[in-house]
Structure 1
């Protein structure tokens, strides 16, 4: 391909750790992009399953794929390594169990071309079951904020939601710095809060461009770790005068996630009650998210788990 810039315009960075069950489908969704000017870096983070073998087979049939392997060091350090080895002017991130809509990279590139002040971009997300094949099987979708994201947006329900949703200008990534090594459950939120704190514009695209696989196994433990990571994050970025309101909204987010993903009813109720106790007004500010979450958490104990997974979103 002839271009003034000698490298692909977009670098897609994917950390991989024991993802053999979903890796091929995720990579296929990236290789099927209508935007063709990209490289895909698959970075194996010390997998003990067949992930590395799958990555090498995929790379053998598409020269846009580069495979890097290193000892396990965590998702933050693995993403940083991918960025370090990448070449694109735009950097897109994808986790090894999510799926992309075919127009994702095209629409993100168009936004960044049209708005040179846009440092990073995200879109809407479809939440799908682990076995789903595409966004058509989604039970619910996320929303975007119509203005550039503020720290308060990111400390609340974080509309970006997953790194599979984020595209960043290289210059912006270099200004913000890499992901905080050692963080596993809030490293993405911490990076976004750091970018917003610096005044960089993070803008949304009002299209569903990512399908996010819900995980029902071990979710309660993950939510606890997410909460612990959030509290560390709030220490650095939350306005002390509004930290209880921000925490209440984040508890609402965790309650909704518990309901959506099939965690125990007690887990959903725990986060809903904690959010109300912290700041009932903040928890109930958004009627759809506030009252609907509270009512759902209250009735969840009386509904079988399988039915909750189908009903709650």
Structure 2
């Protein structure tokens, strides 16, 4: 694959005030079935016990090294780790997210399909809460190979804790863009890097839910207005370079704004709703009308299908099914997915528990 039978992989964990979750994240990394790892915890100027916890953990797993920097944001922390890394590949994971024990093994195996293993591997994710309990999952897309255009339309990778990426290519792309934070638009650094990599590298999918992506009120992705500003700044130069994708990017921006509004509304986060509503009316009034009509039509078709089934005249098309990865079960712990061998359930694209990507 790479000329190296078992390449060293560097795991980069940016950590800021992460004392509540860091140990669990480190445990999920240390427990990987592929053990040729360098694990770098980058303490981003934490004011709690993050550094002490990471240092103590390094005494029990000598693959762990702890780096420190003044608080500069997640992009600078990741870049710090990447610059210090010795591994051929970089696997970032945020200090509150979790991995399935075979994540790295399966991703590295998937990269073997590419000459010299030069590509990016990703997988689907399970959405987990503060206690590691599953409440949804990402849409199980099947994008592989050249994925630049689909990634413009939807960030289907969906988080910063999933990909396995060649270190040399990350450096060639300039790493994560720390200037977004400097402009008050922290949040889409990972998407910007994925798009830069996708312009020249193929991507490969490991079709399983191998990342436990934690959603909490305090994490970065909860700040809708800042995330939308970040998305706009990331897409602006791409529109300049690829004007033919302008319409797709504008649709992606609308869908992103709609997703955050729905998330805030259902979560009773009325401060975010109050901030987002006037912006959406001002910027997307015509799209909102079209979307409302489309949603009404879809609802009418669902009612019609339900009525036909009740009358014994079902015309429902068979569900599209994917592989045999176990479907994340809401209400169960992410760790339960690998603590025992669960009954395997076929994945359906029509699941009502999917979490739209940001």
TM range (shorter): 0.7 to 0.9
Query: 5+ residue gaps in structure 1?
Result: 293-308
Query: 5+ residue gaps in structure 2?
Result: 181-185, 300-329, 332-351
How big is the shift at 1:153? 3.0
**Is residue 74 of structure 2 the alignment partner of residue 75 of structure 1?**
yes
Aligned to 1:64: 63
Aligned to 2:159: 162
How big is the shift at 1:255? 3.6
More helix by share: 1
Equivalents in 2 of 1:27, 1:245: separation in Å? Answer: 38
8 A Cα contact 2:9 2:89, kept in partner: yes
- Aligned CA distance change for structure 1 residues 120 and 77 (closer, same or farther; 3 Å): same
Instruction: Spell out, residue by residue over 1:12-68, the C-alpha distance to the aligned partner (whole angstroms, 9 max, x if none).
Output: 011111100100000001111111111100111111100000000000111110111
- Aligned CA distance change for structure 1 residues 65 and 228 (closer, same or farther; 3 Å): same
Aligned to 2:30: 31
Name the TM-score, length of structure 1 as normaliser: 0.79
Please give the residue correspondences for 1:61-210 in structure 2 after superposition, counting only pairs within 5 Å.
61-116=60-115, 119-132=119-132, 137-142=133-138, 143-148=140-145, 150-183=147-180, 184-196=186-198, 198-210=199-211
- What do you get for the CA RMSD once the two structures are aligned? 3.5
Deviating above 4 A after TM superposition, structure 1's stretches of 4 or more consecutive aligned residues are 4-8, 218-221, 259-262, 271-276, 280-287, 309-313
Equivalents in 1 of 2:146, 2:286: separation in Å? Answer: 24
- Aligned CA distance change for structure 1 residues 147 and 279 (closer, same or farther; 3 Å): farther
Aligned to 2:217: 216
8 A Cα contact 1:190 1:233, kept in partner: yes
SS at match of 2:223: helix
How big is the shift at 1:203? 2.6
- Aligned CA distance change for structure 1 residues 202 and 14 (closer, same or farther; 3 Å): same
Instruction: Spell out, residue by residue over 1:117-146, the C-alpha distance to the aligned partner (whole angstroms, 9 max, x if none).
Output: 6521211010011112xxxx3111112333
Name the TM-score, length of structure 2 as normaliser: 0.70
Equivalents in 1 of 2:153, 2:264: separation in Å? Answer: 16
Aligned to 1:304: none
- Aligned CA distance change for structure 1 residues 11 and 259 (closer, same or farther; 3 Å): farther
SS at match of 2:119: strand
How many residues align structurally? 288
SS at match of 1:205: strand
Aligned to 1:251: 257
How big is the shift at 1:151? 3.7
For the pair shown, which has the larger CA radius of gyration, 1 or 2?
Answer: 2
Equivalents in 1 of 2:146, 2:262: separation in Å? Answer: 21
